[in-house]
Structure 1
Amino acid sequence: MEYEQFDRRLARECAKAFSQSTGLGCTLSDKTGRAFDEYGYGCESCGMCAAAGASHDRCVQAHIYGMTEAERFGGKYIYFCPMGLTCFVSPILGEGGAEAKITVGPFIMVEKQDFIACELTENVRLTEAQKQAAVQVLENIPFVPTERVTQLSVLLFMAVGFMNNVSAENRMMESGHSEELQGQITSYILELKQEEAPPPYPFEKEHVLLQCVARKDRDGARRLLNELLGAILFVDGGDMELVKSRLYELLVLISRTAIENGADAEHTMRLSHEYRYRIGAFTTIDSLCLWLAGVVNHFMDDLFRFSDAKHANIIHRCTQYISANYKERITLEDTARMVYLSPAYLSRIFKQETGVTFNEYLNRVRVNKAKELLRRRELRMTDISLAVGYEDQSYFTKVFKRVAGMLPREYREKILVSRKD
């Protein structure tokens, strides 16, 4: 059984207390997405993927991506699953980074009818039968206002942060993996001592280690790392500061390899910068070597590509933003700024994910809202135009005809006649 670098009992108590106090589902899972415990209506209980005929694996990848983003943004992150439901997460930390996570959700932040119209109809594009099944599932999913979600996310972050501090105190000394690691390093040092002359630094092993990291070969990377640690300690073991310097150089090489093979560059470089200072705090070789082994594992975790989950999350944030603010002036540039992307990049992935351009999607939402208002005879065209975000009525008419295939007045007459029949 693989050693767990977090206190699962304490994590269970944290997830259970948060669920019972907020009424939201909480799932405790490891960094690979394997769920340990679920309290309330969580992702494991949610039938939305099954109703839509979609693979649950996509949700697992979205949750793992959410955890990596939570690490990047300081311990908390709000995101959307592939079905458009909202979750937020805080990572449970080990010495090498996130070892597990508490995920809260799913829930929705918009009214159910808006969710059905926007997510289930426009974005996910379900068949009528699938949509009906999804609507039934939606009855079990709670609604949480946007402003409350932000505060709840902060609350989870504080609870998990407290738990991380409590768990960290004795983590290394209690680790059976520490004894195994030290045994492997000691064994290699004994091999080196049997050689007639002090061997040079094994650059060839360093090169093979980096190849193992690139291939995500954990066993090979662990073995070679231990041998490199043994070589460094054999030569420089009496000088703790020199050992730290050599190990940081090795970390830089590993981080560059991770970036070259698909890890998030900004996230990896930030971690590398943090590790530079963390190395300086260690006072024993044992704790330093155990920490380094965890770091290498973490870099290999970051080699998993979450582009699909990342793009899905970004698009959901954009579509939710449009749904909530269609009455206001919305531009691609402002929306791109909200999701920390360049307008050109957002434009490209928006078209890839939705099949339409950003402006086409915005116009569709506004026209659909206008159709609802056109059912009310007392509303003037100018009022409807302003209500859905168009200051120029003639432009609104032009857009409406292009999207709906008829003029707004023609649509109103058609609807009113059908109501009489």
Structure 2
Amino acid sequence: MHEEAFDRKLAEECARAFSLSTGLGCTLSDKEGNTFADFGYSCEKCRLCEVMGGTRTGCIRAHIYGMTEAARFGGKYIYFCPRGLTCFVSPILSEYGAEAKITVGPFIMVERQDFIDCELIENACLTGEPLEAAMRVVEDVPLAAPERVNQLSTLLFMAVGFLNNVSAENRLLQSRRSDAIQGQITAYIQTLKQEGDTRDYPFELERRLLQSITRQEREESQRLLNELLGAILFAGGADIELVKARVYELLVLISRTAINSGADPQRTLRLNQEALSGMIHFHSIDSLCLWLSGALSGFMNELFTFSDAKHANVIHRCIQYIGEHYSEPITLRQAAEHVYLTPPYLCRIFKKETGITFNEYLNRIRINKAKELLANRKLRLTDISLLVGFEDQSYFTKVFKRITGMLPSVWREKKLEEETLLNLS
């Protein structure tokens, strides 16, 4: 199964939507019958084979046969499982052929009693308790009229056709992108040759790449990554195992840098493992180079996409933490530990998302709370500064004046005068 052969998430959404809208079970599985996801009353949930003393092996064969026939007859096929229940299927295609399928069913296409009489009593010759058990299972199987089944099969065919078109377009875009990246790598190798560069590993280029990732400079990171890959291929010459070793070392460094910059550790390490597993299948420099250009750029894409999606939740949790602990001597490091990030990374994304630094936001929250307390003339300025998290009154006064434009005592008198005038009026 080729990982990039089809959009599994989109296929699952399609199967789920089809099941919810029609009331029939839907199963997304690969061409060998291994289930990715199932919704509603699917074959996975049907117990008819079990109560009739059989296994699902025959059903799996029937589903694979149905997919093969659907591919032969234009993309859809209606068929019966070994127990006489109805299914229909449409294959999900890739450039290699049918890679997966969405199967709808099982369901009954006749009157329920007719199914019992024909399939259970006449064909399977069930009697006594086995018949009673099978009848109880049949009561849960959905019904679908014959004239409706053909229309539903067409609807599934159209939905899966959309999936196939999306996958084909994605493959085309990926191919174009890989060609462009491959061109950049080749051009950099030619530059190294023309300059008579040595085949030493370019540690300086590696350092610049990791710094770019830390700063989340996506385009610059991709450019440096292409150049570094070109340098690795140039330095490695024809030794493919040496190239693989260098590339894997680079992947480890990129993943560590990403984790230190806020990426999810488990997700990042899983990407590393997938890349390592993919590398061992290549035995020529050309094929490895083409694959690596896509794999490494995909790795980078995952990192930045995850980072972007994560920011909103992190900032929300950080702001909530400040609101709960502003009266304490909290620091950027404590807030970063609370949201499981490094202080430099939190500092950077906080400024990016809010427009001000962490400390500036904290001070503004504290000063706003101080304004509320200043309305109480009985509270001393020293007490107020401590209550809002300032250990030093002089620093509190300095911050208050910088944010409001006046000293705390002046602000208090001004507000009390305003309240007095308002009460007199």
| TM-score of Structure 1 vs Structure 2, range by shorter chain | 0.3 to 0.5
Alignment TM-score, normalising by the size of structure 2: 0.41
Rg larger for: 2
Alignment TM-score, normalising by the size of structure 1: 0.42
